[in-house]
Structure 1
Amino acid sequence: MTVSARINKAELPDKFICNSLAFLGRSSFEERCVSAHDELASCNFVYKHFFKSRDEAKLATHIRKKLGLSEKQISEINISDPLQTQRTIANQFMTIAEIPDDISLIIDITTFRREELLILLKEMRRLPEALLDEASFVYSVAAEMGDWLSNNVRQIRPVIGYPGDMISRQSTHLVIMAGIEHHRAVAAIDAYEPSNISLGIVPLEDSVSLEIHERNLQLRDYIVRHFDNVTTEFDFSAKSPQAVISKLRQIVSSRPDQNTIIAPLNTKLSTLACGVYGLENPAVQLCYAEVEVYNAGKYSTAGDEVLLIPYRSLVSKE
């Protein structure tokens, strides 16, 4: 299987129909949070668990309750407490590692926040090698995204497990993997006051859609107009994690005399790639912008396709 296979969601059960499955998901106000789970309903689940937010939105509670989960099948995450998030995710992997059956692990990354996703990627290394061989990420592709996704950045912080080696006498190189949210990018620049910014944009041929590409360009134009420390601009792929990793190696190595901080602000797939690179190069810090408000009513609409990403193909070196 390729690094990222884009298939119709109705084809998903065929990939796992003969397997015993352990499934991890993330409760959300987006209907997409249950798309993969519902498609796999005909498969043999031996373990199923969903994470939910401590201050879960009413819509998220409504969607989650349709799954009929028991209390043991739900863990609460405090999105403002990264250490609690790390412990909660780690505990799940410890439990999954003890399942006696031969299983395939499926992690639906659709509605994990980027910080949670990066923590999850690092904590997966607790799992036995044989289980990692049978682990896959699934992502339910959106048909449309809202006019705005989130607002009001509360805090910029390093991601647990990706602190980097920050040397006080060195200046800062901020690598922005730009998406469509101006406020997150601007907040990262304001927080770190970098000497140099490397601004990554997804070209049309590698973008999720024409609409997203145009919104991505709008963010690029805004940053270039408002900040004079953008010294490098580069393209990266929203579809190929290995291409993102290769690009990051190039961009980071160009400024070895600076502290490098990466702000993953694009797709979940490119965020995973940033995580893989961060684990490969622990001198680099990954940061997260926590926001106060999400567009819960009109964040996205579910599409007909999913991305299926085997864990091993994601983390394998070229």
Structure 2
Amino acid sequence: MKEIFTLKDLDTLKNIDVFICAAGFENRSYIIPTALATIEIPNSIIFYINDFYIENINNADKIYSILNSNFKQRVELKYNNPSFSYKAIKEVIENNLNGINISGKILIDITTFSHEHLLMFIKIISEYQNLTDKIVFCYLESKEYSIDEKDYDKKWLTKGIKEVRTIIGYPGNFDPSKENHLLIIMGFENERTKKIIEIFDYEHITLINGAIEESINNEHYAINKSKCNNLIELFPNINNIEVSVIDIIKCKKHIEAYLDIYNNCNNVIIPMNNKISTIACGLLGISNKDIQLSYISAEVYNKFNYSMHGENVHMFKNIF
């Protein structure tokens, strides 16, 4: 089930027992926590990456000071050590969620989680049936990305490829006798996506972008589609489909149906769009153990001009 709230309406939310978020380098990290500041929430958990930009740590401290909770904690994750992060997330879920009495909502702000850490979180918490029906995901949309650049072709969020790795919890089942199929949920990164295609060099490649009526706004769609078209010119054999990037279940079902064509292939998905579509990929990987999910860590982020937040908050519940 999906609802849309405006930021100013978030303080009307009731029965939140636990609030969870991740502090990124963007100012968008603390916008939802600020909107919730007048609500007394018993428990709050703030994930943050401490081996990355100093802004991640500073924003974690800021969120900690904003939230009105009797019990609140900052939980350290690592950008360059996925095993450490997986263990840290699992310990928090086991000790601080599964170990307490929760009668109300577990509100999770997914806005500035890394793709990798969000997928780890989804995988781990999906195993706790007593928690999944209490979860409400919220996502603050971006009004604009790469805000210092107006030329669509020059907009960028990340550059370079530091490492290609399988996301813990989503190894897939690979059969060397089968052909390989790579699906990339496109963001705004042409240079990195081109390199990914060349690195994997798979027999089948599909670029996935948001449909115009299923994107955050028309400008996001236009940029996303333009980036896809540029790559299709370079790699004419690439397939291209459009899905919802504003509805978790729609996105999951669309990709799931498309994969029926490739059920005799080894399928690898790389989510590079927003966190709504990333959760959809996670749910797909959980339901179909044959699918592998991979993460491409970046060398550089456009941290000073990454995004400008919008006013709408997308809320999802009962997705497991």
Could you tell me the TM-score, scaled by structure 1's length?
0.90
Which residue identity does 1:250 align to in structure 2?
Answer: A
1:59 corresponds in structure 2 to 55
Candidates 13, 16, 21, aligned match of 1:15: 13
Alignment deviations for residues 139-174 of structure 1 (CA, whole Å, 9 cap, x no partner): 111222113211111112111111111111222111
Q: CA deviation at 1:20?
A: 4.3
Alignment deviations for residues 257-313 of structure 1 (CA, whole Å, 9 cap, x no partner): 211111212121011111111111110111111112111111111222211111x1x
1:32 corresponds in structure 2 to 28
2:296 corresponds to 1:300: no
Residues 172 and 193 of structure 1 are in contact (CA less than 8 Å); yes or no, is this contact kept in structure 2? no
Candidates 166, 169, 172, aligned match of 1:161: 169
Q: CA deviation at 1:186?
A: 2.1
Q: CA deviation at 1:33?
A: 0.9
- Change in CA separation of 1:31 and 1:237 when aligned onto 2, cut-off 3 Å: same
Q: CA deviation at 1:101?
A: 4.6
1:139 corresponds in structure 2 to 139
Aligned-partner SS, 1:73: strand
> Hey, what's the Cα distance between the residues in 1 that align with 2:137 and 2:172?
26
Q: CA deviation at 1:62?
A: 3.2
Residues 97 and 128 of structure 1 are in contact (CA less than 8 Å); yes or no, is this contact kept in structure 2? no
> Hey, what's the Cα distance between the residues in 1 that align with 2:46 and 2:159?
25
> Hey, what's the Cα distance between the residues in 2 that align with 1:252 and 1:143?
31
Q: How is 1:1-318 mapped onto 2 (pairs within 5 angstroms)?
A: 3-16=1-14, 19-68=15-64, 73-94=73-94, 95-129=96-130, 131-146=131-146, 147-230=155-238, 232-310=239-317, 312=318, 314-315=319-320
Which residue identity does 2:97 align to in structure 1?
Answer: I
- Change in CA separation of 1:99 and 1:195 when aligned onto 2, cut-off 3 Å: same
Q: CA deviation at 1:37?
A: 1.3
Aligned-partner SS, 1:143: strand
Could you tell me the TM-score, scaled by structure 2's length?
0.90
> Hey, what's the Cα distance between the residues in 2 that align with 1:222 and 1:108?
33
> Hey, what's the Cα distance between the residues in 2 that align with 1:196 and 1:62?
43
Q: CA deviation at 1:67?
A: 3.3
Extract unaligned runs of 5+ from structure 2. Answer: 147-154
**Larger CA deviation: 178-187 vs 276-285:** 178-187
Residues 54 and 78 of structure 1 are in contact (CA less than 8 Å); yes or no, is this contact kept in structure 2? yes
> Hey, what's the Cα distance between the residues in 1 that align with 2:88 and 2:53?
20
> Hey, what's the Cα distance between the residues in 2 that align with 1:72 and 1:46?
8
Residues 156 and 187 of structure 1 are in contact (CA less than 8 Å); yes or no, is this contact kept in structure 2? no
Which residue identity does 1:40 align to in structure 2?
Answer: L
**Identity level (%):** 26
Residues 93 and 126 of structure 1 are in contact (CA less than 8 Å); yes or no, is this contact kept in structure 2? no
Which residue identity does 1:226 align to in structure 2?
Answer: L
Q: How many residues align?
A: 307
**Larger CA deviation: 283-292 vs 195-204:** 195-204
> Hey, what's the Cα distance between the residues in 1 that align with 2:139 and 2:234?
34
Residues 172 and 258 of structure 1 are in contact (CA less than 8 Å); yes or no, is this contact kept in structure 2? yes
- Change in CA separation of 1:233 and 1:67 when aligned onto 2, cut-off 3 Å: closer
Alignment deviations for residues 28-49 of structure 1 (CA, whole Å, 9 cap, x no partner): 2211111111111222221111
RMSD of aligned residue pairs (Cα, Å): 1.9
Residues 186 and 208 of structure 2 are in contact (CA less than 8 Å); yes or no, is this contact kept in structure 1? yes
> Hey, what's the Cα distance between the residues in 1 that align with 2:35 and 2:79?
28
Which residue identity does 2:165 align to in structure 1?
Answer: R
Q: CA deviation at 1:224?
A: 1.0
Residues 153 and 183 of structure 1 are in contact (CA less than 8 Å); yes or no, is this contact kept in structure 2? no
Which residue identity does 1:25 align to in structure 2?
Answer: C
**Larger CA deviation: 178-187 vs 211-220:** 178-187
> Hey, what's the Cα distance between the residues in 1 that align with 2:59 and 2:281?
30
> Hey, what's the Cα distance between the residues in 1 that align with 2:47 and 2:195?
27
